[in-house]
Chain A
Amino acid sequence: MEDKTYLSIAYLGMIFALAIWTWTVVSRSRNMEQRIIAMEESLNIKPSNADSIAELNAKNEE
Chain B
Amino acid sequence: MRVKSGEIILALGFLGLMLTLYLAFLWAPSVNINAFESPEAQRIFYWHVPAAWAAFIAFAVLFVGSALWFFKRSPLGWKLHIAGSEAGLACGLMAVWSGCVWGAAEWGTPWDWEDWRLNSFGLLTLLALFLVLGRQSQPDGVESRDTFSTFGLYGFVLVPLTYVATRIWVIRHPGPVIGGDEDSSISGDMALVLLIGALSFTTLIIGHILTSIEITKFEQRMDRLQKKLDGE
Chain A positions within 8 Å of B, measured between CB atoms, are: 2-4, 6-8, 10-11, 13-15, 17-19, 21-22, 25-26, 28-30, 32-36, 39-40, 43, 45, 47-54, 56-58, 61
Contacts and interface: CB of A to CB of B under 8 A. Distances in A.
A18 B41 contact: no
B40 A3 contact: yes
Contacts of B222: 32, 35-36
Interface SS of chain A = helix
Contacts of A54: 73-75, 78
B105 interface: yes
B17 interface: yes
B228 A11 contact: no
Contacts of B24: 11
B228 A48 contact: no
A36 B221 contact: yes
Question: Which range contains the number of B residues in contact with the other chain?
Answer: 35 or more
Contacts of A17: 93-94
Given A3-B105, A29-B211, A52-B220, 17 more contacts: A3-B38, A7-B40, A7-B41, A7-B43, A10-B98, A14-B47, A25-B10, A25-B208, A26-B211, A29-B7, A36-B225, A40-B221, A52-B223, A53-B142, A53-B145, A56-B142, A61-B73
B11 to A, nearest CB: 9
6 contacts: A7-B25, A10-B101, A11-B21, A11-B25, A32-B222, A52-B223
Contact of B224 (A6, A15, A29, A52): A52
A19 to B, nearest CB: 7
B161 interface: no
A28 B215 CA distance: 8
B189 interface: no
B215 A3 contact: no
A33 to B, nearest CB: 6
A32 B215 contact: yes
B215 A4 contact: no
Interface string B26-54: 00000000000011110110010000000
Contacts of B74: 54
Nearest to B145: A53
